Structures are given as structure tokens and as C-alpha cells.
Structure 1
């Protein structure tokens, strides 16, 4: 199969590319190498993919002539490109162009791909809102520019399925962590603090926030399992995460235990748009995809620590 991955040089995209290529698919990667975080990290990912025979082409979905840029014989598109997070330094206009305009242009260009079997949108649990413990039928109530624009992007993708232009689905991911995680994410920061004797920036009130921390290997298992299940997945929104729930405090304690250290805290003002709870309900994923996450928190964090020590120190 010939497969396009957008956002291929990022955390999730690079892992997805590796898995698909190892399953003998032809993988084509594109990324705009956004400076949301240090672009050198994405360049390193792209270099590693290149060594596996996967080219990551630098291309901006907001500007490129996609009818020309996209191969005509694509079988699948995995759309992971987006402006992530809820950083105060990111403007609404940046979320608008990266998440909505870029997705609109890609979904429109995909209507010209005659053999496209499925367009898979990589969505987020941030779509649901502040306190998330629900199945996919729950009304979306996003509370951040990120969540709002990712919901709009998801609907652009799903509208193509409703119109009968091509099969499409959206996978809403929950609190993904693991090797190559973005440096602004919690476990990356905790590990960095433990190694380099820094204080961890903790947002006020977040110590008891609850998350379904899901290791990247489990997430990739779920994403790739869509292949071959086009009929079952078409028109579906599907949660991917673990049904285990942990507090921020437990996440901190896990890193401290595994690294045999105590991490200092730098208390920051509460962050607007932060979710109180995101616990994944994955009954649909189990039923449709045969999804079965199995990486425990300690094993997953240890994998990330090992990678960090070998690659970032």
C-alpha cells in the first residue's frame, strides 16, 4: 500500500512511519517543520526515517499546490499534521491556519485521488472538553483554541465521508507519551528535570488532574489497525487510549521512582484551557479494531527514560 503521513517528522508521525514501513508499506512523509518546538528535533527524526528509506518532504499544507504535490495513487492518508497544545504563545490565527485551513485544503485535494481507500484523521481527546470520561457519542465541548480547531478539522474530514467522496474516520488520542515525545510534554519535562537537576513547572491545581497516559506503542497499534477495516471504520469517531487513569502526582512519582530522585517543583499560575480529567472509554476501539493497550505506566516511562538518556543527554 502507498501511504501518506502528514506531520511525519513529529512524535506520533515518525513512530507511525516506522511501523508502516516495517509492515512493507510504501510510506511518503510530509512535514512543514514548524518551530512550535526546536526544529532540530524534527530534523533528527526525519534523518532517522531517511536512513530507513522513508523520505520526509518539507511541505506546508497551507501553501503548497496539493493537487501537484500529492501522489495520485495513494491508498491511505494518515493526517497528523497540526499545531498542538495550549501554549499561550500560540495565537488563534496559528491554530486556525494550521489545523483548519490546512485540513480543508488536504481533504479537498484528496477528492482527486481515485484509489484512496481511507482518510484517517489523527484527532484528540481535547475535543471533548474539561472533564472527559465518555464514549464517542458525547457532545464535544472543547475549552481551548486547540480543541476547537481540532474539532473543526475533524468535521472537515468526516464531511467527506458523509458526502460519499471517500471513506474517512477520526481517531481521538489520549495523553500519548514515549520516546521522541515533544519536549513541552509532561514526561519529557520530568525526565529532563530529573537528569539536569531542574525544577518541574507545575501549573497550579494540576497535581490532581487525571489522565489516561497511553504509551506510543499502544497508540500506533490502534492507528495501524484501521487498515483493512475500511467498511467498519468509515464515518466513525474512535477513542484510542488506555482505560487506566493516573493523576499528575502519580506521573511525577513514577519518574522519581524509576530515576531514584526527587524532582523539585516550580509552581506556575493555573493554565487556561487545561482539562481536569481525560479517561479513555475504548469499548468501540476494542470492538471495531480489536484494540488492546497493554503497556503499563512504569514500563512505558522506563522506555522513554532509556531513550532520553541515549539521545538527549
Structure 2
């Protein structure tokens, strides 16, 4: 297959591109390489896939030095003309949209970025898929769409109409927009609600990265909600395996479904939503203990109240993923954290 992956200078995008290339797919990676966090880390991820940052020019595809079937293009999703031109030239079979403005807390102070990248940018992806007969669009949603839901575990059959951050609202909007295009134009779309992804090459704004950095530098870590947070931490390799299973199984129309559909994750249209999580919530304090063991350092802790936009707990029900695609993430937090710590010490020479 020829697959477009948006966000390949990003954490999940880099890992997914490598996996698809290793199995023989042809991949075009796209990223705007914005400065939401350290651009050097993004450029090093590109180097990991054989892309020389010195040769990058906006809108121009660049061949990988490591993977003969990999090209990269620097492009913004908001650039509709550039995106449509890329689709016209490359003739993709499938698209995986991972590019987005990420982060719950950042959305409190920079709301415009979420509308531009996550709403306008996603609309441009949908329009490009519509006009170029894309066989399947898989896209990143988020566990944050569950918002103020308290029923555990979070199920894709639950109502998610009460987001508590603009980031979450933008991801819920993506699911609604995708359904509309599946219904009107028959485009198979699958939304992927990721649960707290971590691992080597992870984002510097995520807890594991922040905690590891602070502990090595002998600085205190900020422990929100006084350590009472519960998170369904999911290792990046498990996320990638789930995404690949989804890519290979596009949803099909369900014309026989009742007119009174009560499950928002299914439709008469070729539309689907899955949770991809470890289904094993971990208390934040236990997560910190695992980092302490991996580093051999005891953390200094600043205990703080919960921040606006955060939710106390996440817990994925992955039953549909297991039943329909035969997959259940299962990497332990202890193993995943050790893999991250080993990468961090090597990458930063700590």
C-alpha cells in the first residue's frame, strides 16, 4: 500500500512510519515541524527515518537515505492547496492522520492553534480524501474526549458530549466531522482514542519525560491532584500495533442497522471508533515509584491540586478492539518506563 502519515516528526508518527516501512509499505510522511516543543527532537526523529533536515524545503518531497520507499514533505495541514497538490501527485491508498496540536494544558492559553490545526487542518484532510478516492482514513482521537465521564472503564459506546478542554472538544469534533464524510461520501474512517502514550522518543511535555528530566537534574517534580490521578498508560509499540490492525481493516457500511442507533461508535456509514489503551490504570504515585526504580533516584515532590482541563482518571475498555481486530495492548508500565529511561540516558548522554 501507499500510505500518507501526517505527523511523522512526532512521537507516534515516527514509530508508525518505521513499522510500516519495515513490512514493505510505501510511506509518505508529512509534518509542519512546529515549535510546540523542542524542534531538535523532531529533527532527530526525522534523522532516525533517514531524512536529512538540512535538505528540507517547504512543500518539496525528500527521499529517505535509509528507506527506499519513504519520502517526507514539510507541509501544514492548514495549507489546503499544498495538501490537495500532494494527494494529486502521490495517489495514496490510505491515510493516517496523527498531526495535530496536542496538549490539554496548552489549549488553555493557545486556543487558536487547536482550531487551525485540529479543525481546519482536519477538514482539509477530509476534503483531500473525498476528492482522491482514499480507501481508508484512520485518525488520532484521544481519551480526553471522555471529559467529565465517571463511568469506568471508558467505552466507545458511552456518550462523550461533555469535554473539559478545547483540545478534547477538537478531537470530539474530528469524530463528528469524519462521520459526516463517511455518511455523505462513503469514505471509510476510523477514529483512534489513544490513552496516555509513552515510550522512547516521547514528547517532552508528557509526565514521564518531565519527571525523568527533573529527577536526573535533582529538581522537584510537580505531582498534580496530590498524586491521586489514575492513568491508563499505553506503551508506544502497543499503540502502533493497534493502529496497523486498524489500517488493515477499514470499516464497511452497515445498512441493516436499526434507525435508532444508541452506540455512537458505530453507524450505517463506513465509520468506526476504537479505544487503544492498556486497560490497566496506574496511580500516578505508583508510576513515579516505577520511574524512581528505573533511574535509581528518589524524586523530590511538589504536591499540587488538579489543573483545569485535567480529568482524575482514565481507563480504556478495549473489548471491540479485541473482538474485531484480535488485539489487546499488554506492555507493563515497568517494562515501558525502563525502555524510556534507557533511551533518555542515551539520547541526552545522562
TM-score (norm. length: structure 2): 0.85
- Match of residue 286 from structure 2: 250
The count of aligned residue pairs is 311
Question: Tell me, which stretches of 5 or more residues in structure 1 are unaligned?
Answer: none
Kindly provide the CA deviation profile for residues 98-130 of structure 1, in whole angstroms up to 9, marking residues without a partner as x. 11010001101111113x210001110001113
Provide Cα deviations, 1:51-97, integer angstroms capped at 9, x if missing partner: 43233211001124122122452111000111111224642111111
Q: Tell me what 1:208 maps to.
A: 228
Aligned pairs for 1:97-136 (under 5 A) are 97-114=116-133, 116-130=134-148, 131=150, 133-136=153-156
| 5+ long unaligned stretches in structure 2 | 51-64, 253-265
Partners of 1:200 and 1:265 within 8 A in 2: yes
| Larger CA deviation: 87-96 vs 154-163 | 87-96
- In the alignment, does 2:298 pair up with 1:277? no
Deviations 1:215-249 (A, max 9, x none): 00111110001233124694111100111110111
Aligned pairs (5 A) from 1:12-23:
12-23=12-23
The 5 A counterparts of 1:27-106 are 27-50=27-50, 51-53=65-67, 54-65=70-81, 66-70=83-87, 71-88=89-106, 90-106=109-125
1:10 aligns with 10
Q: What is the root-mean-square deviation of aligned Cα atoms in Å?
A: 1.6
**TM-score for both structures, normalised by structure 1:** 0.95
Cα displacement (A) at 1:267: 4.0
2 CA distance for matches of 1:9 and 1:310? 20
Larger Rg: 2
Q: How far did residue 300 of structure 1 move?
A: 0.7
Of 22-31 and 46-55, the range deviating more from structure 2: 46-55
Equivalent residue, structure 2, for 1:266: 302
Contact 2:136 2:189 in 1 (8 A): yes
Counterpart residue number, 1:165:
186
User: How far apart are residue 49 of structure 1 and its match?
Assistant: 1.1
Residue of structure 2 equivalent to 1:228? 248
